[in-house]
């Protein structure tokens, strides 16, 4: 059974950064991800607030980070961690995946999150048939077509702008009377002339083989209106992946996120957490910073025990 000083579960921005820092500290490290490195970060169409870049896509930045990380640690993509077992040995944890088993002295949880769904009628039925959670994945197919983007945060507005630039006729739909997104994104929505429907929720997605319309409900009056559309893009938040954390007895807050201290430590000794799975600001640069802190904390704890 292979043995490591640090195993990082999740290869998003935070996990890859943790791998870079851990490797440069001289420890033996492994990053495991059940998908491709980057996770939902690969879907970000354009960032204008990542230091050093006027504009960069999530996929481009992930590929650069992945190349750097693999010079400093092992990376196993498409390998799913099923269980983590605490032991009384020097290697305190046994990590079981769908492919192998590993032992490690410390664990960094960078398990990220997944797209939250609307739970509207027809949403599951038309997934991949006009319903999408990824503008960069599917936006190309909707050039010249009528679509809605559901959501009011940074991601929703960024993706609406991206879809407009692809040539889609996009309308923003948000359940509140104002957007939560940063002001410059709201200004760009106005500049691009993207129509908005506020105080509205999607009650039903309708069609035959593909999406043909949505039923919107006015949150103030309760009135229902049917809007013809060819596609529904959804960006209404994320659900943290905490299954492994709960196995280990890691403490969560009331929203289901992992509670960490300033050193990214959880309530379980030698278990650290970073990124979207944690309490805190959901930003790429924050996850990277947390990755650096967690790798350094794990290194210091290992050295203190030796």
Handedness of CA 249, 12, 236, 187 (dihedral sign): positive
47 vs 55: CA distance, rounded Å: 5
What is the pLDDT at residue 123? 95
Look at the chain and count its residues: 306
What are 110-136's pLDDT values in tens digits?
999 888 999 999 999 999 899 999 888
- Which domains are present in the chain? 2-114+238-305 (3.50.50.60), 117-234 (3.50.50.60)
Tokens 């870079």 belong to which residue? 20
Catalytic residue numbers read 134, 137-138
What are 197-231's pLDDT values in tens digits?
999 999 999 999 999 999 999 999 999 999 999 99
Which pair of tokens denotes residue 289?
A: 């910073």
- In angstroms, the Cα distances linking 257 to 140, 155, 236, 277 are 34, 20, 17, 6
What are 18-65's pLDDT values in tens digits?
999 999 999 999 999 999 999 888 878 788 788 998 888 889 999 999
Which pair of tokens denotes residue 2?
A: 């292979």
Count the Cβ atoms, other than its own, within 10 Å of residue 92: 18
Average pLDDT over every residue of 250-270: 96
Q: To the nearest whole number, what is the mean pLDDT of the chain?
A: 94
The values of phi and psi at residue 156, to 5°, are: -60, -45
């Amino acid at each position: 059974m292979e043995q490591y000083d640090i195993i990082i579960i999740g290869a998003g921005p935070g996990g890859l950064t943790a791998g870079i820092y851990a490797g440069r500290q001289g420890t033996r490290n492994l990053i495991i991800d059940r998908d491709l490195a980057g996770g939902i970060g690969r879907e970000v169409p354009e960032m204008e607030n990542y230091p050093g870049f006027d504009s960069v896509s999530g996929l481009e930045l992930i590929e650069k980070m992945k190349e750097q990380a693999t010079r400093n640690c092992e990376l196993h993509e498409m390998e799913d961690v099923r269980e983590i077992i605490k032991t009384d040995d020097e290697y305190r944890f046994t990590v079981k995946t769908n492919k192998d088993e590993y032992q490690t002295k410390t664990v960094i949880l960078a398990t990220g999150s997944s797209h939250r769904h609307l739970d509207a009628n027809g949403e599951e039925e038309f997934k991949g048939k006009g319903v999408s959670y990824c503008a960069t994945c599917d936006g190309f197919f909707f050039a010249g077509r009528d679509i809605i983007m559901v959501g009011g945060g940074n991601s929703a507005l960024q993706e609406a702008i991206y879809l407009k630039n692809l040539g889609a006729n996009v309308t923003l739909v948000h359940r509140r009377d104002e957007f939560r997104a940063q002001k410059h994104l709201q200004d760009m929505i106005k500049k691009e002339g993207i129509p908005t429907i506020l105080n509205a929720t999607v009650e039903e997605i309708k069609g035959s083989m593909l999406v043909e319309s949505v039923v919107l409900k006015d949150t103030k009056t309760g009135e229902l209106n049917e809007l013809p559309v060819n596609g529904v893009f959804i960006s209404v938040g994320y659900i943290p992946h905490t299954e492994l954390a709960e196995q280990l007895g890691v403490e969560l807050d009331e929203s289901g996120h992992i509670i960490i201290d300033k050193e990214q430590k959880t309530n379980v000794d030698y278990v650290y957490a970073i990124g979207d799975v944690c309490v805190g600001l959901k930003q790429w640069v924050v996850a990277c910073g947390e990755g650096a802190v967690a790798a350094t904390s794990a290194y210091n704890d290992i050295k203190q025990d030796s």
